[in-house]
Copies of this chain bind each other. A is one copy, B any other.
Amino acid sequence: MSAENIIEVRIFEPNTSVLAELREFVISTGRLVGLAEETLRNIALAVDEAATNVIRHVASQHPCLIGCTCETNSNHSEVTYEISWDDTKPFNPSIPEKEVISQRIGTFTPGGLGIFLMHHLVDDIAFDYNNGKCVVKLIKRV
């Protein structure tokens, strides 16, 4: 269950010029642990969405840095990417229903796509808050 082997950690400035590097970080660490190419692409997009949200909704309000950690659990059955950032309050959004997203797309109402995508691109998603750090965990079973 718990992710125990840290493969790599990297810290990013909270602006969109780092997104390309962040996706490359996911792809290179994911290759290291043997994820398939399609899985790599899905996780890179999910991590991009999580970081973009921090850049847009958190860093514009408070100074913060974004951490990204790649970990596997002891029997290597799960790979977890953790995106963490400094925040004054927990972040634990509800995942929009497919119907809500269809309706938003149908009425051309932006917003909500990122969290929906994150949820559907990985096997499991979890939100956590500890000592002023918010964490989104994106979990892929292998």
Contact = CB atoms under 8 A, between A and B. Distances in A.
How many copies of this chain are found per oligomer? Answer: 2
A16 B59 CA distance: 9
Contact of A17 (B16, B17, B61): B61
Interface residues of A, number: 11
Contacts of A62: 15, 17
Contacts of A55: 60
B13 A63 contact: yes
Nearest to A57: B60
A27 to B, nearest CB: 22
Top 6 A-B pairs, shortest CB-CB distance? A16-B61, A13-B63, A17-B62, A55-B60, A15-B62, A15-B63
